RNA sequence: GGGGCGGUAGCUCAGCCGGUCAGAGCAGUGGACUCAUAAUCCAUCGGUCGCCAGUUCAAGUCUGGUCCGCCCCA
């Protein structure tokens, strides 16, 4: 049992054959922001991501490219997936690959335990198999082929012929866990979030669970079934286990106890694997079920879902090259209600970058720092007598701190950001009303000028702390300019308004320079 | 065929248990100001809340039906 301050968050592991697009990056960034936020609140935080490297599809691609599947995976991990994390500034604590020895060995250990405990039996399976989908298809999921596949049954997703396979399989008695799963959803209404995702899972399980075929014998790129080397473990069964093998399951019980259970973040397309199959597997093994499964929405581009199989994907670098990783992170997490589908467009991205990051936060930072340099020679002023307006700013700082932390607890990232943004708006408004540039012209108003600037300075520092999970780079620059000690990402975010002020500010370059509008 | 979600100002979206709920941000328009990244602040234009019927003293807000989009299951 993990103690209350342990926070372990996971993303789905990337299927190495995919090409990274903003959908992958979105999940990563969301998990990263939650992880950074918890770290900054002092929680014992662990963020895991990684790659899924087994399965027939990868074997075939590798073979077609004349290399072994492992070589193929190595190449993609090094050239595509690790770089993606750097592109969007994700600070994961671990990166697991399903070809890691720590994973494969303990997948076998897990499987053997289920086998020994009677949760697995031998059966026979016959069905139409789509290599593209990596799964068997029901009759209803097949359509008549056209063109070169005329007269054949093809997969509705890939439009490629399916194969009629007949194999001896090992089955997991998942059906035995239907009642316990329903009880779980009942007892912990937030186990599957958001509500819409929970509804789908509920109705799926209520309609009855079938046992799950968990092995394949038609190819050998996978984890060997320990008691039958002619079979490899079904890729999904294998992949899900990464969440526990990465934190010591089977080999480091102390670490496992410290981390598990995890909060899973997944796209809603793979919700069922995480909210039904995975908990059932854990129950069978006598382990705790996850802390929660959150299914976020799709990114819609031009009203259509971004697809892995189709080519509507946008590479994250296309965005970060122009706007930077901070803007990427901010845009997707603030503009989209976390959990719902969200529309992406270049126009919207550019508009929000300009209005919110450049004109809102960036410019606020510029004007405050510039005035302290100009009117106080860079020495951080201190407040004398405080007016109602000054107290109000302090109150907004507290509210933003409390509200955002509470929102993070509900996984409402967009809400955490908008709560914080109230401070941005309050400070810009405060400066307009107090007019420090006017006060500066009258020597008798010196005390008031310093109080106003001290108040604005303090609010800006609070913003830096609160925004550092989302905007790690910009806030680090701001923190330095504010002359505050330590690193901004080490400041307690749940008490952001209590940060310790510095002594001297230094010039600040534009945090979010204006971007030339391009086509 | 069964089920879920969404259809609210030009754009993106809030609106919980029905009664200032017709809102926010952006865009547009007018004004103020100049510390700042031609930034900021104030004001303002703008919608028969997909459509039809019903329940109710009162319905984006509940019921039934219907159209459109997406998704899950069979």
Residue-level pLDDT, tens digit, chain A, 519 residues: 344 589 999 999 988 887 888 888 989 999 999 999 999 999 999 999 999 999 888 888 899 999 999 999 999 999 999 999 999 999 999 999 999 999 999 999 999 999 999 999 998 877 777 666 666 666 655 666 666 666 666 666 566 677 777 778 899 999 999 889 988 988 888 888 887 788 888 888 887 888 888 888 888 889 999 999 999 998 888 999 999 999 999 999 999 999 999 999 988 888 889 999 999 999 999 999 999 998 887 777 766 666 554 455 678 888 899 999 999 999 989 888 887 777 788 888 898 999 999 999 999 999 999 999 999 999 999 998 999 999 999 999 999 999 899 889 888 888 899 889 999 999 999 999 999 999 999 999 999 999 999 999 999 999 999 999 999 999 999 999 999 999 999 999 999 999 999 999 999 999 999 886 543
Interface residues 434-453 of A with strand B (CB < 7 Å): 435-438
Topology (CATH level 3) of domain A345-498: Isoleucyl-tRNA Synthetase; Domain 1 (1.10.730)
Q: Which residue has the tokens 């093994």?
A: A285
A142 C-beta neighbours (distance < 10 Å), count: 17
Interface residues 184-243 of A with strand B (CB < 7 Å): 196, 199-200, 203-204, 207
A128's tokens: 């139409």
Cβ(A483)–Cβ(A506) under 8 Å? yes
Distance, CA of A411 to C1' of B12, in Å: 21
A129 C-beta neighbours (distance < 10 Å), count: 20
Helices (H) and strands (E) in chain A, counts: 21, 19
Interface residues 317-336 of A with strand B (CB < 7 Å): 335
Distance, CA of A203 to C1' of B18, in Å: 29
The reply to whether A70 belongs to the active site is no
The reply to whether A308 belongs to the active site is yes
Distance, CA of A433 to C1' of B33, in Å: 10
Strands A120-130 vs A163-172: parallel, antiparallel or unpaired: antiparallel
ipTM over 0.85: yes
CA of A338: how far to CAs of A39, A124, A198, in Å? 20, 42, 15
Helix A22-40 × helix A388-409 angle, to 10°: 120
Nucleotides in chain B near protein beta carbons (<7 Å)? 2-6, 11-14, 25-27, 32-42, 69-74
The reply to whether A376 belongs to the active site is no
Q: Is the CB atom of residue A277 positioned under 7 angstroms from any atom of strand B?
A: no
Residue A130 assigned as binding residue: yes
Burial A202-214 (b: 16+ CB within 10 A, else e): beebeeebebbbb
Residue A489 assigned as binding residue: no
Residue A376 assigned as binding residue: no
Q: Is the CB atom of residue A138 positioned under 7 angstroms from any atom of strand B?
A: yes
Distance of alpha carbon A229 from alpha carbon A320, whole angstroms: 46
Burial A106-122 (b: 16+ CB within 10 A, else e): bbbbbbebbbeeebbee
The reply to whether A305 belongs to the active site is yes
Strands A263-267 vs A292-296: parallel, antiparallel or unpaired: parallel
- Residues 6 or more apart whose Cβ sits within 8 Å of residue A71: A62
Domain boundaries, chain A: 345-498
Cβ(A239)–Cβ(A13) under 8 Å? yes
């Amino acid at each position: 049992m993990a103690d209350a301050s342990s926070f372990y968050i996971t993303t789905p592991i990337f299927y190495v054959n995919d090409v990274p697009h903003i959908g992958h990056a979105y999940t990563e960034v969301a998990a990263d922001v939650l992880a950074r936020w918890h770290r900054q609140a002092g929680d014992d935080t662990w963020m895991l991501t990684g790659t899924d490297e087994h399965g027939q599809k990868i074997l075939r691609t590798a073979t077609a490219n004349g290399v072994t599947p492992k070589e193929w995976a190595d190449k993609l991990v090094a050239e595509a997936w690790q770089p993606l994390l750097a592109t969007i500034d994700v600070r994961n604590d671990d990166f697991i690959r399903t070809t890691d020895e720590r994973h494969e060995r303990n997948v076998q250990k897990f499987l053997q335990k289920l086998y020994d405990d009677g949760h697995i039996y031998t059966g026979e399976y016959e069905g139409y198999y789509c290599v593209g989908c990596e799964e068997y298809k029901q009759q209803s999921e097949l359509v008549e082929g056209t063109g070169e596949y005329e007269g054949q049954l093809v997969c509705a997703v890939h439009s490629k012929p399916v194969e009629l396979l007949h194999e001896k399989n090992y089955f997991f008695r998942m059906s035995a866990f239907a009642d316990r799963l329903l009880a779980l959803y009942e007892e912990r209404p937030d186990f599957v979030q958001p509500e819409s995702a929970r509804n789908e899972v509920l109705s799926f399980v209520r309609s009855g669970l079938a046992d799950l075929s968990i092995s394949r014998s038609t190819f050998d790129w996978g984890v060997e079934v320990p008691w039958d080397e002619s079979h490899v473990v079904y890729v999904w069964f294998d992949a899900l286990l990464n969440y526990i093998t990465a934190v010591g399951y089977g080999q480091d019980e102390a670490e496992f106890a410290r981390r598990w259970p995890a909060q899973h973040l997944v796209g809603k397309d793979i919700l069922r694997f995480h909210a039904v199959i995975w908990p059932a597997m854990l129950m069978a093994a006598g382990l705790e079920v996850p802390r929660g499964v959150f299914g976020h929405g799709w990114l819609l581009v031009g009203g259509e879902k971004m697809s892995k199989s189709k080519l509507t994907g946008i590479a994250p670098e296309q965005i970060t090259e122009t706007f930077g990783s901070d803007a990427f992170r901010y845009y997707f997490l603030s503009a989209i209600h976390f959990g719902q589908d969200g529309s992406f467009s270049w126009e919207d991205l550019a508009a929000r970058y300009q209005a919110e990051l450049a004109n809102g936060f960036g410019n606020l930072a510029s004007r405050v720092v510039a005035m302290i340099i100009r009117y106080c020679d860079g020495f951080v002023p201190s407040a004398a007598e405080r007016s109602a307006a000054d107290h109000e700013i302090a109150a907004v700082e507290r509210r933003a701190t409390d509200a955002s932390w509470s929102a993070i607890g509900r996984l409402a990232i967009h809400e955490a950001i908008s709560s914080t943004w109230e401070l941005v708006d309050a400070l810009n408004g405060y400066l307009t009303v107090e007019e420090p540039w006017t006060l500066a012209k009258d020597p008798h108003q010196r005390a008031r000028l310093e109080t106003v600037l001290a108040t604005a300075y303090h609010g800006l520092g609070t913003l830096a702390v609160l925004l550092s999970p989302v905007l790690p780079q910009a806030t680090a620059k701001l923190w330095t300019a504010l002359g505050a000690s330590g690193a901004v990402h080490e400041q307690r975010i749940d008490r952001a308004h209590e940060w310790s002020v510095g002594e001297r500010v230094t010039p600040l370059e534009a945090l979010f320079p204006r971007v030339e509008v391009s086509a």
